[in-house]
Amino acid sequence: MQIDPASFAFTLLLGFLAAVPYSGIDINLPALAATGATLDASASDVGLTMSAFMLSLATAPLIYGPISDRLGRKPILAFGLVLFVGASLACAKASSLPVLLLGRFVQGIGAAATATTFAIIRDLFDGNAARGKIANVMVMVNVATVIAPTAGAALLAVAGWRSIYAAQAGIGLLLLVVVMFRFAETATTDRSGRLALSAVIDSYRQVLTHPVSLPFILVGAAGGATVFAYVTGASLFFVGAVGLRPEQYGLIFSACSGAVMVGAFLDGQLGRRGVESARMLATGLTLSAAASTALLAMTLAGWMPTSLVVALLMAVALGFGFSVPNVMSATMQRLPEIAGAVSAAAGSIQLTAGAISSGLVALRFDGRTALSMTAVMAATSLLALVLYLLVARPAERRLPSQTIDPGVAVRSPTKT
C-alpha cells in the first residue's frame, strides 16, 4: 500500500529525505578530532571530508535532475540511497584519510539524489499546497540540523566515530525500504523519450533563460548566501573573538535554527489562511535585509552586545524561514515538466553562492570583529531583496501562472 501524498506520513518521508544531506554534514562535526587521531591526520585535514561531501552534493544534482524528469523520481532516489548506504559503510571501515575522503565524496553523490524532494512536491502540488509542503519539509530539515550534532556527539562518546557512519547507513537503509515499497512514482515521464546529452542541455537552457524561474533562483541563491555567511562567521566571531564556549555557541546555533523553523511553520499556516506568497516573501526578505544591515551598522560602530547580536541573527533566520518556501515554490511553478532540472539548478547555484560567501567570510575574518560576516550578510540580503522587488516580482506579474486550484494536489502519483 502506497503512502497517501496528502498524509502526514508522506510529509514525514519528504522531510527525512531532504534532511539527509544536511545531517550528513552536521552529524560528523563533533568527530573530526577523534577521526584524525585514529587515521593519523589533523582535525583540519579531516575537515576536507566536509569539502568532499559538499562538492559532490553541489554537482551531482545537475545530473540527477534531468534524468529524474525522464526516468522518474523513484529510480533516482533508490539509486542514490543505495550509494549513500554503501559509501557510509565504506566510511565506517576506512583505514586511511584518502579512503575516507573517497567515501565521503561518493556518500555526497548518493545524498544528492534527495534533491529531487522539491521536484516531487512540484509533481503533486501547486500554489499554497506546494508552499505548505515545502514549509513543512523545511521545518523538518532544521530539526535535523539541531539534532544531528548532538546525536553525533552521543554516538562518538558511546561507540566511537565509526558508529556515526554506521548510523547514517542504517538511516539510509530504512529510507530505501520505504521508497522501494511505499513510495509511488510522482513524475509524468515519457518512457519512450531518449535520454540524450542534448536533452539535458536543453532542460538547463530552459531553466537558465526562463524569465521567472531564473530570477527566483538568483533570489534564493542570494538569500542562501546570507545564511552560509552567518553559519561560517558566527562560529568565528562568538568562539574566536568573543570567547564563548562551544556549547554556548551551540545554543545560539540551535536558537537560529529554531527561528527558521518558526518562520517556515508560520508561512505554511498563513498560506492556508490565504495570505499571499508574494507578501510573505517580501516580508521575509525585508526582515533579513533590515536585521543584517543593522548588524553591519553595529559592527562599524564597535557596539556588539551579544544578546542583541543573537536577536538580530534570529531575525535574519526568521526571515529566511518566511521566504524560502515561497522562493522554491515560485522557482518551480512555471516549469513543471522539468521540475527535476529546475530543483537541481536552484540547489547547485545556491550551494555555489553559499560556498563563495562562506569563503569570503572566512578569508576576511580579522580575528577581532564580525565585520566579514556582517558585511557579506548585509550585501547578500540586500541583493536578494533588490532582485525580488526589481526583477523577479515584475517578471512574475508580466507572466501570469496557470490557473490551478492552489489548495489541492495536482494529481495522484502513478501506482507502481
> Which residues in the chain come in under a pLDDT of 70?
43-44, 189-196, 400-416
Phi, psi of 191 (to 5 degrees): -65, -25
Residue at 230 is within a domain = yes
Do 337 and 233 share a structural domain? Answer: yes
**What grid cell was written down for 231?**
553559519
Q: How far apart are CA 257 and CA 233, in angstroms?
A: 15
Residue at 411 is within a domain = no
Q: How far apart are CA 67 and CA 110, in angstroms?
A: 15
Reported pTM:
0.81
Do 200 and 182 share a structural domain? Answer: no
Do 337 and 254 share a structural domain? Answer: yes
Q: What is the pLDDT of residue 403?
A: 39
Do 200 and 159 share a structural domain? Answer: no
Q: What is the pLDDT of residue 401?
A: 56
Q: How many helices (H) and strands (E) does the chain have?
A: 18, 0
Q: What is the pLDDT of residue 132?
A: 80
Residue at 269 is within a domain = yes
Mean pLDDT score of the chain: 86
Do 202 and 182 share a structural domain? Answer: no
- Provide the domain count of the chain: 2
Q: How far apart are CA 182 and CA 219, in angstroms?
A: 35
As a whole number of angstroms, the longest Cα–Cα distance in the chain is 64
The CATH number of the domain holding residue 360 is 1.20.1250.20
Q: What is the pLDDT of residue 269?
A: 87
Do 166 and 96 share a structural domain? Answer: yes
Do 184 and 200 share a structural domain? Answer: no
Residue at 409 is within a domain = no
Residue at 405 is within a domain = no
Q: What is the pLDDT of residue 44?
A: 62
Q: How far apart are CA 15 and CA 363, in angstroms?
A: 34
Do 11 and 108 share a structural domain? Answer: yes
Q: What is the pLDDT of residue 43?
A: 64
**What grid cell was written down for 107?**
556518500
DSSP state of 70: H
Q: Which of 136, 159, 188 is the last residue of a domain?
A: 188
Structural domain span for residue 270: 196-399
DSSP state of 414: B
Do 142 and 34 share a structural domain? Answer: yes
Do 173 and 133 share a structural domain? Answer: yes
Nearest 5 degrees, angle CA 128-CA 134-CA 139?
Answer: 125
